[in-house]
């Protein structure tokens, strides 16, 4: 079920989330709701649980439908208790967020990340992501740590832009 997006300045967006310990129907339903919400967002490639008001370390990422970066995508990820175990390189790119819909910003991120996570069944997996997919992973994991993309902007006056209306 598509859920309403929590918007800045809601304090849940700056609160670290609790780890998931019970892998049951509630987690499956949360992943389904996150997936429906992400797919309903125009151009969205990920959403994290606090963005729909749930304070658990759960996020979904899928860059495969992105018009520019989709061909390089590894597909859909349901991330339970994700953590970045390695970061390599650096890149700067424009980011937006459904919780802050009126702005985009230039954000510096790692070029490549290794992410360890659990599946909805609790199985531990590891994935290496690069470029745009790595940025999406970092952005969503930041949400689980109570960090917004604006928190990573070097200069709020020169690196934040009003989002173009379609």
Tell me which residues are annotated as active site: 140
* 155 Cβ contact partners less than 8 Å away, ≥ 6 residues apart: none
CA–CA dist 116, 101 (Å, integer): 29
5-43 burial code (b ≥16 CB/10 A, e <16) = bbeeeeebbeeebeebeebeeebeebbebbbbbbeebee
């Amino acid at each position: 079920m598509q859920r309403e997006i929590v918007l800045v300045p809601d304090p849940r967006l700056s609160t670290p989330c609790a780890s998931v310990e019970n892998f049951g129907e509630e987690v499956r339903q949360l992943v389904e709701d996150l997936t429906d919400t992400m797919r309903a967002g125009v151009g969205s490639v990920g959403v994290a649980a606090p963005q729909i008001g749930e304070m658990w370390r759960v996020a979904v990422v899928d860059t495969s439908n992105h018009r520019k970066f989709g061909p390089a995508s590894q597909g859909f990820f349901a991330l339970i208790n994700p953590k970045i175990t390695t970061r390599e390189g650096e890149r700067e790119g424009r980011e937006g967020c459904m919780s802050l819909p009126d702005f985009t910003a230039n954000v510096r991120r790692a070029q490549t990340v290794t992410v360890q996570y659990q599946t909805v069944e609790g199985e531990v997996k590891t994935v290496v992501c690069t470029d745009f997919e790595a940025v999406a992973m970092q952005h969503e994991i930041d949400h689980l740590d109570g960090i917004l993309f604006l928190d990573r902007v070097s200069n709020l006056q020169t690196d934040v832009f009003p989002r173009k209306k379609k």
